[in-house]
């Protein structure tokens, strides 16, 4: 299995990488910050995993083009893509839209939404016939809450990107909403990333394709399917 994860150096991305490293999978991991990415790769390689790393910024389509070419060259057709890279400028719940800078708005959209678009678009020529593409998201993309500003807007846009690709590609493309996860983006509150990594693994291995494709799989869906 050939798995590509963007934003793999920490949080959900790193946890998903560790989960797939326990199987016979080749991992292609990217992030903007090379030091933690290389530390993660060394950990996984020491445990016997097959890992390729590449510094890549999802805001740069040329970085992503090279990443997907590398993934296919090193591991063959891409079986699973986690378009995971994301940013949050400010403190969660304390960034009302009317007070946000244009710079923050633009970078949320460019990283969280356009980044998902770029990752999927550049992966398309290299996807296996039964490949699955997953975009992580959260409830604020669909149910607005005060204080989440353009981050929430960007996640809604990322979900729309996934739906449109699902409508146009003969591959399974969907959204996984694990609820609040304890990462840097959430300020450390929420579920352990290692726990929700099991959900992401299920999404690309066992979840019914017709339920994932063009739709949102939630924590409740996963628990009902695996209890």
Report the interhelical angle of 11-21 vs 193-205 (nearest 10°): 60
Token pair, residue 1, equals: 């299995």
Each residue's pLDDT tens digit in the chain (227 positions)? 999 999 999 999 999 999 999 988 999 999 999 999 999 999 999 999 999 999 999 999 999 999 999 999 999 999 999 999 999 999 999 999 999 999 999 999 999 999 999 999 999 999 999 999 999 999 999 999 999 999 999 999 999 999 999 999 999 999 999 998 877 666 666 788 898 999 999 999 999 999 999 999 999 999 999 98
Maximum separation of any 2 CA atoms in the chain, in Å: 49
Hey, where are the domains in the chain?
2-226
Identify the pLDDT of residue 188. Answer: 61
Q: Say how far apart CA 118 and CA 62 lie, in whole Å.
A: 9
CB 12 within 8 A of CB 38: no
Domain 2-226 falls under CATH 3.40.190.10 = no
pLDDT at 187: 61
> For residue 227, what pLDDT is reported?
84
Question: How many residues are recorded in the chain?
Answer: 227
Residue 191 is predicted with a pLDDT of 83
Q: Is the pTM of this model over 0.75?
A: yes
CB 141 within 8 Å of CB 154: no
CA distance 171 to 169: 5
| pLDDT at site 98 | 98
């Amino acid at each position: 299995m050939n798995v590509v994860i963007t934003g793999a150096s920490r949080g959900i991305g790193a946890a998903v990488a560790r989960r797939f490293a326990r199987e016979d999978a080749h991992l292609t991991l990217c992030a903007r910050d090379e030091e933690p990415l290389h530390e993660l790769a060394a950990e996984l390689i020491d445990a016997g995993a097959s890992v390729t790393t590449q510094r890549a910024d999802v805001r740069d389509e040329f970085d992503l083009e090279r990443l997907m070419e590398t993934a296919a060259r090193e591991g063959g057709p891409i079986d699973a893509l986690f378009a995971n890279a994301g940013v949050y400028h400010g403190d969660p719940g304390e960034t009302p839209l009317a007070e946000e800078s244009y710079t923050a708005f633009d970078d949320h959209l460019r990283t969280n939404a356009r980044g998902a678009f770029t990752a999927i678009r550049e992966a398309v020529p290299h996807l296996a016939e039964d490949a699955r593409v997953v975009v992580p998201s959260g409830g604020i993309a669909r149910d607005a809450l005060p204080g989440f500003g353009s981050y929430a807007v960007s996640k809604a846009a990322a979900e729309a990107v996934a739906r449109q690709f699902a409508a146009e590609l003969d591959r399974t493309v969907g959204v996984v909403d694990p609820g609040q996860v304890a990462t840097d983006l959430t300020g450390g509150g929420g579920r352990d990333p290692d726990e929700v990594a099991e959900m992401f693994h299920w999404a690309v291995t066992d979840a019914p394709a017709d339920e994932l494709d063009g739709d949102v799989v939630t924590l409740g869906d996963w628990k009902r399917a695996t209890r």
